[in-house]
Structure 1
């Protein structure tokens, strides 16, 4: 009997998915292949970090579009994971009609589709920014609908949830959409299809069982729609207002606005290093203190657009420093720079940046995980990373599903 899942990690960064899955069960989640490539950059800091921590797998530092289908056909992949960019997913009919639909070149979702198509894993777990549900602004929901229809055509059921990491025991208010797709032929899928979609979204689904929600739908925001069969029609004409939680089965979509049950955040102050460990370079000088006071303060400035139109730019004020009794704000790739979004903490009367180690802690990485690179890139990589605690929780659920799946298959194959 198979006792682990073969995992492929795409757009791996510094390994957030793998850190979380291996924390759930290092032996059960067997990552056999990973890809990380930063285009137009000579230095491949994220890949070097990943490779240093995970030398046992095949780690690829090539453009994923240039990796052959055969690479994935021969792997017997069970689970594909990855955090991919939010891009324009519009499609067009190819010049040669028999080739069907073609996605815009360079869009990494189509590489996910290609890999899934040739390897057909049992499970797919993806992460993206939550604005994916609303893009593009002129045709709301089109891009996500194309994704759902793509997975429908590949034979998968899809669940999704926008999760604020701070609601489930972390120190960062980071909202991201997670997408879990599973093969319709699995016993787990068959069991799910016997339930109502409301039961799945509020109680028994992948996300509801991992991240409990209140059983009352937030402000009654609950919608259903059937996706057009033709993806080209979706690309050209379809729009829909998706809510933060939902499921798609055979093109039928049910989406609702759910709320976390008993949110339990960790204060920012709990993840700070002891001040005796903080290098002097992270403390603000007088010039920086003055600059941040301006950046974080309220503004009302008259500006002129390129066409000569005058307008008032206004911006509300924010706390001069980040409150230590609250979870941190969403960390961006600009963390650690002189930028309004950068966290500034005040400890023992002194103001400072978060250290790279504290940023690693905000995302649930071990201390000094990114010590293979300079401070600027350490901040950048953590701004790009996901919260590994969430992946750990999902890993436990996937392991439970697979254990039940194995038992179901064993029962089906037993002679009467």
Structure 2
């Protein structure tokens, strides 16, 4: 029997993967303590595990006896989406509660999960501090950067996983692999993989779609008409398109859809050229997208009625004029769907803020992903119960952990460390593990740890 604790538990993704690996290896488990501060996440956890983990781990000092720790400690301070203040931010210092409990209770092992940005924050010094801290407590450490899409999960999600065992060296044969940089690259790589017989099974977006989703997830008639005005009647052309007002490329803008009011062809051209040119270094290097003067805009937009066109766009709300400089008024949050996924590829990374606005075109109709589909994008089994509060589930899945990655790591640990596992897990019956050839992955990880 292995007794474990589940910290920063969220909706239980790490626990699901851990318990599944143990089940496959005939090892009994007991979660003796779980902790999560988000009340809605606690409701999902209780719905599935029969216990409410609501607590603030910073205020917890006394725990039941346990010999393994699971912890997906909060990532906002380290992520590319956040301010990346690291240990200078209160959220970042929650790692020290992990350290505090490891030091006090000395469990035989742990698995930690965090965002990729943790490895490069402060030029790698933050991650080095964490690793050195864990080693100073007597733990041997192995860490891997892994992309969920390499583990039969239809999502491009790179995370750092840290495994530690007390006072004993161990082997993990899973190699760091950050996978494809985006869904387009994933498709190209998959075509190459198909030329060979020996490759891992992969899952793509079409594999996680519900056959008969609730009509409430379909896009409104108005939004659908706006999309057809730009794309045409064949909405499958939307596969892979992003709806965004700050970039060109494979994207559609609010002024093309007419969300704030219909625009003339000249106005659409003005806005598209402004978006395409305002990032150029000839207009300055002080920021990525610059506000431009009329004179600067005239270098790439030749219409003589430029001021009249700009005035009309300002009146409609697509353009702003501050200190005689023009800038687009970005309305990304106004789109019913901000990204249409390609059914033949993987999803972009789920996030807590916008998972509810990921979409797909299915049977010629545009719609948002359902909460169940988002759970599938994290590798949650359909047996996992979801709350009726859709927005809460979208947020939870955006914050979640890809279950199959945890299951693979723990299985790897069990399969390659026979005597060590007998010591740690103490199964009720003799347990025989196959021996494997060890591999070294440090150099592979260092190549993967690139911003």
TM-score by length of 1: 0.66
Tell me the secondary structure at the aligned position of residue 15 of structure 2.
helix
Separation in structure 2 between the aligned mates of residue 390 and residue 263 of structure 1, nearest angstrom? 14
The structural deviation recorded for 1:170 is 1.7
Q: Which has the larger radius of gyration?
A: 2
Matches within 5 A, 1:107-186: 107-136=93-122, 140-183=123-166, 185-186=167-168
The structural deviation recorded for 1:30 is 2.3
Separation in structure 2 between the aligned mates of residue 89 and residue 126 of structure 1, nearest angstrom? 16
Q: 1:211 to 1:145 in 2, by over 3 A?
A: closer
1:357 to 356, 367, 372: 372
CA contact (8 A) 1:157 1:181 kept: yes
Does residue 273 of structure 1 match 2:210?
yes
Q: 1:349 to 1:394 in 2, by over 3 A?
A: same
Structure 2: which 5+ residue stretches go unaligned? 78-84, 179-197, 228-240, 245-250, 254-271, 279-289, 293-320, 331-336, 427-451
The structural deviation recorded for 1:309 is 9.7
Tell me the secondary structure at the aligned position of residue 210 of structure 1.
coil
Match of 1:36 in 2: 36
The structural deviation recorded for 1:387 is 0.7
Match of 2:58 in 1: 65
Match of 1:284 in 2: 219
Match of 2:47 in 1: 52
Corresponding residue pairs, total = 309
Aligned CA-pair RMSD:
3.4
TM-score by length of 2: 0.61
1:18 to 15, 18, 29: 15
Separation in structure 1 between the aligned mates of residue 388 and residue 215 of structure 2, nearest angstrom? 19
Match of 1:248 in 2: none
Matches within 5 A, 1:315-334: 321-334=340-353
Deviation digits for residues 372-399 of structure 1 (CA, Å, limit 9, x no counterpart) = 2401111110011011011111222233
Separation in structure 2 between the aligned mates of residue 109 and residue 21 of structure 1, nearest angstrom? 21
1:78 to 43, 67, 84: 67
Deviation digits for residues 176-216 of structure 1 (CA, Å, limit 9, x no counterpart) = 11111221x23xx1xx5xxxxxxxxxxxx42xx235879xx
Q: 1:403 to 1:7 in 2, by over 3 A?
A: farther
Separation in structure 2 between the aligned mates of residue 336 and residue 165 of structure 1, nearest angstrom? 17
CA contact (8 A) 2:243 2:338 kept: no
The structural deviation recorded for 1:304 is 4.2
CA contact (8 A) 2:144 2:176 kept: no
CA contact (8 A) 2:47 2:385 kept: no
CA contact (8 A) 1:357 1:368 kept: no
The structural deviation recorded for 1:156 is 1.4
Separation in structure 2 between the aligned mates of residue 343 and residue 369 of structure 1, nearest angstrom? 21
Moved more, 279-288 or 124-133: 279-288
Separation in structure 2 between the aligned mates of residue 370 and residue 353 of structure 1, nearest angstrom? 20
Deviation digits for residues 322-351 of structure 1 (CA, Å, limit 9, x no counterpart) = 2111122211113454xxxx4321111101
Q: 1:352 to 1:115 in 2, by over 3 A?
A: same
Separation in structure 2 between the aligned mates of residue 399 and residue 330 of structure 1, nearest angstrom? 29
Moved more, 299-308 or 369-378: 299-308
The structural deviation recorded for 1:368 is 6.8
Separation in structure 2 between the aligned mates of residue 397 and residue 307 of structure 1, nearest angstrom? 58
The structural deviation recorded for 1:319 is 11
CA contact (8 A) 2:74 2:92 kept: no
Tell me the secondary structure at the aligned position of residue 93 of structure 2.
coil
The structural deviation recorded for 1:404 is 2.2
Q: 1:16 to 1:377 in 2, by over 3 A?
A: same
Match of 2:316 in 1: none
Q: 1:79 to 1:90 in 2, by over 3 A?
A: same
Tell me the secondary structure at the aligned position of residue 4 of structure 2.
strand
Q: Which has the higher contact order (CA 8 A, sep 6+)?
A: 2
Q: 1:90 to 1:345 in 2, by over 3 A?
A: closer
The structural deviation recorded for 1:285 is 1.4
Tell me the secondary structure at the aligned position of residue 130 of structure 2.
helix
Separation in structure 2 between the aligned mates of residue 274 and residue 30 of structure 1, nearest angstrom? 37
Moved more, 364-373 or 112-121: 364-373
Match of 1:6 in 2: 3
CA contact (8 A) 1:89 1:146 kept: no
Separation in structure 2 between the aligned mates of residue 378 and residue 297 of structure 1, nearest angstrom? 28
The structural deviation recorded for 1:262 is 4.5
The structural deviation recorded for 1:279 is 0.7
Matches within 5 A, 1:246-265: 262=199, 264-265=201-202
CA contact (8 A) 1:90 1:143 kept: yes
